[in-house]
Structure 1
Amino acid sequence: MTTSKNQPKSNGLGATVIEYPASTNRQQSAQEPKTAPVHKLDLLQHIPDCMFKRYVLDVAKMTKIPVNTSFLVGLGIVSTVTARCYVVMYEDRGYQPLGLYILAEHDSGTGKSWMLKTYQTPVFSSVKALVSDWQSRKQAAKAANEEFNEPFPDFSYDTDATPEGLDQTLEATRGYFALASAEKGLANSISGASYSTGKTNNDLWLKGHGAEHHSSKRSKRGAYNGDVIGAVVNIAQPGLVQTVLTQSDHSGAAERCLMISEESLLGKRKHGREHRHFPNEGDQGAYDRIMRGLTVLATQNQPIDQLSGYRLSRDDWDKVFALKDEVEPHTISGGKYSSQTLKSIVGKVDIQVMKISANLAILDECPPGLIPSQWVDAAIGIVRDMLEYTYRLLIELDVIGTNALEDSVIAYLSEKRTATRRQFDQAKRKSKPWSELPKASTGQAMRDTIDGLIDKGIVGEFEEFDAANGKKITTLKLIA
């Protein structure tokens, strides 16, 4: 494969940089097959021994779901509460909310709802107790003929909410929302796939990741004008990640998410009483206590600009900048992270480090202020691992990678039987996976991909007489 002068010297985070040759006159040879061995993901290796690490392991064993999924789902649920309690500060400007966006897909019948509910239970019980106390005080005030102006302790999880539906809740919560579900319908809503018109309409959801300003106008229903702050946890059937990737239409939806698709343990699980597992009582009690305390604070729904903040030290910011410098060269045209999705993910690595490190510090009961370096180091390791994992996941899902390009040509010719290169270009240029490539590289990538398939003996190129135009044309056909 011809390399460019601009190719990064570093091999990146694990694999060779993918490039499309710049010359059309070179001798064509067969393209390299997809080379993306499974990335061994072990997120907990980055976290020192602590209550939450042990609890994540126990919940994974109890529900019989892989531990990386358990960690991301658990941390995501924690962030649905911490997002209403604290923020994390940039070094030189503003802040980020703590809400994470987690997409985890897993087979049906594998305990997804059980895992989700396990992490949510102390939040549910705390909200129930707070609402009960509020109602008792309200009734007592009414019986005493006294004014009662305490705000309602408003916190709930929406499981399948459209942007229009969320709009009606934001006024009461001062812009906060929490989405959590074990069904794929939530992904359809947030990606816009549930809209028959083809529009995504996920602006509110996108802005909630960074506490951006949102202004809506709805006819005959409530509207909202202010900051929106959200967190999302969706653990659902296979196809969840693909839905968000393909339906979000480069809106930035997928790029805000930490996405995972681990192989299930179906066929390997043991169900007898001797194989049951429950979390350690001490860790369960500590997790419940921390989450109940956070929920009390979260239900107050204080304006985000009044929340206390966490921050990284100067030295830890230097580590974050080093991570950004490490991955930046691979966003160059034709580089490993040059697809639109991956470039956007790379652009948000500092934000993910900020959010993850602050949430880990809160679980370690660190007060607002400086985040201990161990949690920043852990977050950097997690984000680096997730970037490599996501790169390989996108190849596996045929969103990027040479096989995805080849498959697009093969599928098109299977349907059309014959086509010219120009016809293929016009039909597929704006569709995935081609739309993931830099625009300047798309035409060359199409030519190289077709030439590679010809070299492999899968596609043939033939001269034919076009009676309609009275000219000879060159057409492509599948021959294998």
Structure 2
Amino acid sequence: DSSIIYPKNYNETDFIDNSNAFNAMFSIHDVLTRNGYSPVLSSYVTSHNIFTEYTSTPMLGNQSITLNIKQINTDEYVFDVYGTEPLLNNYMPQNAFEFYCRLECDGDIGKAIDKWRTDINNNLEFIREKDKFKIQDLAYKYRLIVCDQSVQTLPKQTTLNKELIRVDHFLNDEPYYYSVKLLSQVSPNHIMHRLAEHIAQTCDLPVSTVFLIGLAVFSGMSCRKWVVEYPDGGTLPTCLYVVAEQPSGTSKTRALTAFQRAFTNIINKAINTYNENLSAIEDLIENEKKKEKNQETITEMIDYANSLMPTTNTTPAGLEKSLIDSNGFFSAVSSEQGLFNTLLGLNYGGGKYNNNDILLNGRDGGFINVRRMGRECYAGHVVGNIVCFAQEGSIEKVISASNGTGVSERFLMIAEPHQLGQRNHTKSVPHQPELFMEYQKKCLFIKEILDDQARYEDLIKLKIDENDWHRINLFKNKIEPYLMDGQNLSHGVIRGAVNKVSMQVMGIAANLHLLEDGGENTTIDSKHIQTAIDITDQLIISLHNVCLKKDMIGTHAEFKAILDFFVGKPDNFKPTAQEIKKSRTKVKPFTGYNRKSLRVQYALDHLVEVSLLRYENNRYILNCIM
């Protein structure tokens, strides 16, 4: 593309990140109007298209640009741009950042990125004018805003012709994913860094997702030998709960198996040996009582070894029963949503109560004492990991099933862009047996677990240095202001998870330390604490993005919730603000806010600003086609 000037040190990832951030803040309309283009009044709407023509001032040569939104089907639109601006002859920009690059930076990407980063004060002023609901601190805002979505507003002149705006053009555009860069925080020499990169290349999966599920799989075994100690002497398991999403056909099972194989091979070998010993007892021991006692001992060893194998599908009752054989430990790993359907009780239906006690206590080693009629029950500490790497919808399932209990807050969540349509099926990724052998050596401690069958109280304590505790607390202070009502992390779905950052930092750091050090040093290395903080920080952004994408929070979710109130109502329906608030404070996303009525009012004001609603005589009138 001859209209683009690439800098010598051009970094495609850097370009994508800055482009995404810019596009989340500004629309094409914003960039055109601030560069001297004005929408003409002859905008028009047909049954399938909306055309808006922009004409530049004479100083810019009186060139014109036409925006064309074409409807493909009920829920899909294509956004095209046409124009005769000389700078745009070779390539027509398709988003706000590309227009910004060409109209304000002579097509120089490097210049555009530098200008975008350094012109913060002007950007902040413009953003505040454009959207008063976005957070004020641009330093943290720049990293969060890439998760957000600006509403693509048509010029208000369309309403001058008494044409109603189609709400589809505001609410049906597909949100983009946000690619986190978890490995950028991890040493390239770390075994999990190298293994995640290799498996991601082999399976054509996003590397950060692969890294996170790999660490979580490892945590399912490490939590049976180690805990992390709090300053007050309390302990936290090293296990992690992770839910990750990728579409069907993306080798999710293959990736999970690659991380599990090091453990399952050792466990299967032990089970085979136990079975051989069990068979040999019949011939070697003549005394029946001694034979029976030995058979019982070996059978218990087999049951314990089987309990180490990750379950792919279990009910709460089934998981509860397995705790007896495992001394309170469990591991649930699956590439199917069925794991959540059963584990979270979603298959019960009929309004039955979901028993999430094990999941609530398993992440932090809580004590349970279950009593059930007619069967043996478990009493003691419960510890386990959960890894669900499945199709889209998995995150909604865990958040929905949580229903305010706190289960979802314990999960790390990630949903990165898939690579379907971009894979090269002829490429060959060299096998690296030495890499897997190195990983397997890191997992040999499972043999000790098979022999010791330790309880939670007996596990080895990993410590965190006092300075690193201070570092963790500084991180918590950094994000604390964003938990205030009205801020970007104030919604209940996110706020609860953010309040668990200490737990996540401790778990991530412990497993990184064990994979590198093997537990020889019981004090977690400071570098792993900092890495865990950086990873957790990125995953907060990822969670924010996931919630936006799935319309759990944000402008789109709030718009939809309020506009749904008008669905099915007569044309003369004109509710007051109080009537709207009374209804909408009971539905999502407003139920997740503390100051629900105020949040509804903010959204109403915003809907009026973008002309989707009109406010006349203290009543709201629908001003769009639903």
Please give the TM-score of this superposition, normalised by the length of structure 2: 0.67
**Pair 1:67 & 2:191 matched:** no
**Pair 1:326 & 2:478 matched:** yes
Distance 1:478 1:413, change over 3 A: farther
Q: Is the 8 A contact 1:209 1:229 kept in 2?
A: yes
What amino acid is the match of 2:588?
K
Distance 1:162 1:368, change over 3 A: farther
Distance 1:105 1:416 in 2: 37
Match of 2:264 in 1: 124
**Pair 1:188 & 2:341 matched:** yes
What amino acid is the match of 2:538?
D
SS of equivalent residue, structure 1 residue 12: helix
Q: Is the 8 A contact 1:87 1:307 kept in 2?
A: yes
SS of equivalent residue, structure 1 residue 135: helix
Distance 2:179 2:541 in 1: 10
Q: Deviations over 1:440-480 (max 9, x none)?
A: x21111122123213322124577xxxxxxxxx95654533
Q: Is the 8 A contact 2:192 2:215 kept in 1?
A: no
Distance 1:83 1:228, change over 3 A: same
Distance 1:450 1:313, change over 3 A: same
Q: Is the 8 A contact 1:339 1:400 kept in 2?
A: yes
SS of equivalent residue, structure 1 residue 371: coil
Distance 1:299 1:156 in 2: 15
Match of 1:25 in 2: none
Distance 1:183 1:327, change over 3 A: same
SS of equivalent residue, structure 1 residue 333: coil
Match of 1:335 in 2: 487
Match of 2:419 in 1: 265
Match of 1:27 in 2: none
Q: Report which stretch shifted further, 283-292 or 350-359.
A: 283-292
Q: Deviations over 1:333-381 (max 9, x none)?
A: 1122111122212211111111111111111124251111121121111
Q: Is the 8 A contact 1:413 1:478 kept in 2?
A: no
Distance 1:136 1:155 in 2: 19
Q: Is the 8 A contact 1:76 1:101 kept in 2?
A: yes
Match of 2:556 in 1: 403
Match of 1:388 in 2: 541
Q: CA deviation at 1:77?
A: 0.6
The equivalent position to 1:12 in structure 2, one of 140, 150, 155, is 140
Distance 1:47 1:55 in 2: 12
What amino acid is the match of 2:140?
G
Distance 2:216 2:183 in 1: 15
Match of 2:588 in 1: 432
Distance 1:362 1:433, change over 3 A: same
Q: Deviations over 1:48-97 (max 9, x none)?
A: 12222111100111111110111011111101111111111112231101
Distance 1:200 1:71 in 2: 31
Distance 1:403 1:256, change over 3 A: same
Distance 1:10 1:63, change over 3 A: closer
Distance 1:423 1:9, change over 3 A: closer
Q: Is the 8 A contact 2:177 2:417 kept in 1?
A: no
Match of 1:113 in 2: 253
Gaps of 5+ in 2: 1-127, 148-169
Distance 1:279 1:369 in 2: 34
Q: Deviations over 1:239-285 (max 9, x none)?
A: 1112222332121122111101111111111112xx13254222110
Match of 2:186 in 1: 47
Distance 1:106 1:301 in 2: 36
The equivalent position to 2:497 in structure 1, one of 336, 345, 357, is 345
**Pair 1:163 & 2:303 matched:** no
Distance 1:363 1:279 in 2: 21
Match of 1:209 in 2: 363
Distance 2:440 2:268 in 1: 14
Distance 2:220 2:548 in 1: 30
SS of equivalent residue, structure 2 residue 527: helix
Distance 1:260 1:214 in 2: 30
What amino acid is the match of 1:285?
M
What amino acid is the match of 1:188?
N
What amino acid is the match of 2:185?
H
Q: Is the 8 A contact 1:43 1:382 kept in 2?
A: yes
Q: Is the 8 A contact 2:612 2:623 kept in 1?
A: yes
- The count of residues paired between Structure 1 and Structure 2 equals 450
What amino acid is the match of 1:435?
T
Please give the residue correspondences for 1:57-456 in structure 2 after superposition, counting only pairs within 5 Å: 57-142=197-282, 143-144=284-285, 145=287, 146=290, 147-148=293-294, 149=297, 151-152=300-301, 153=305, 154-198=307-351, 199-272=353-426, 275-294=427-446, 296-297=448-449, 300-364=452-516, 365-367=518-520, 369-416=522-569, 418=573, 420=575, 421-438=577-594, 441-456=595-610
Distance 2:241 2:458 in 1: 23
Match of 2:7 in 1: none
What amino acid is the match of 1:450?
L
SS of equivalent residue, structure 2 residue 332: strand
Q: Report which stretch shifted further, 179-188 or 454-463.
A: 454-463
Match of 1:479 in 2: 624
Distance 1:388 1:403 in 2: 18
Q: CA deviation at 1:141?
A: 4.0
Distance 2:615 2:137 in 1: 37
Distance 1:427 1:311 in 2: 50
Q: Deviations over 1:203-251 (max 9, x none)?
A: 2111111111112233344422221111000000111112222332121
Distance 1:161 1:366, change over 3 A: same
Structure possessing the higher relative contact order (Cα contacts under 8 Å, 6 or more residues apart): 1
Q: Deviations over 1:13-58 (max 9, x none)?
A: 6347x9xxxxxxxxxxxxxx99x98644110111112222111100
Q: Deviations over 1:308-354 (max 9, x none)?
A: 11111111111111111111121111122111122212211111111
Distance 1:299 1:260, change over 3 A: farther
What amino acid is the match of 1:317?
W
What amino acid is the match of 1:479?
C
What amino acid is the match of 1:431?
V
Distance 1:45 1:9 in 2: 24
Distance 1:430 1:216 in 2: 34
Gaps of 5+ in 1: 19-32, 464-472
Distance 1:58 1:10, change over 3 A: same
Distance 2:461 2:600 in 1: 49
Q: Is the 8 A contact 1:406 1:453 kept in 2?
A: yes
Distance 1:213 1:8, change over 3 A: farther
Distance 1:299 1:269, change over 3 A: farther
Distance 1:419 1:367, change over 3 A: farther
Q: Report which stretch shifted further, 211-220 or 45-54.
A: 211-220
Distance 1:52 1:11, change over 3 A: closer
SS of equivalent residue, structure 1 residue 195: coil
Q: Is the 8 A contact 1:59 1:278 kept in 2?
A: no
SS of equivalent residue, structure 1 residue 252: coil
RMSD of aligned Cα (Å): 2.7
Q: Deviations over 1:281-300 (max 9, x none)?
A: 22110112222433542574
Distance 1:477 1:318 in 2: 53
Q: Report which stretch shifted further, 444-453 or 52-61.
A: 444-453
Q: Is the 8 A contact 1:167 1:222 kept in 2?
A: no
Q: Is the 8 A contact 2:241 2:412 kept in 1?
A: yes
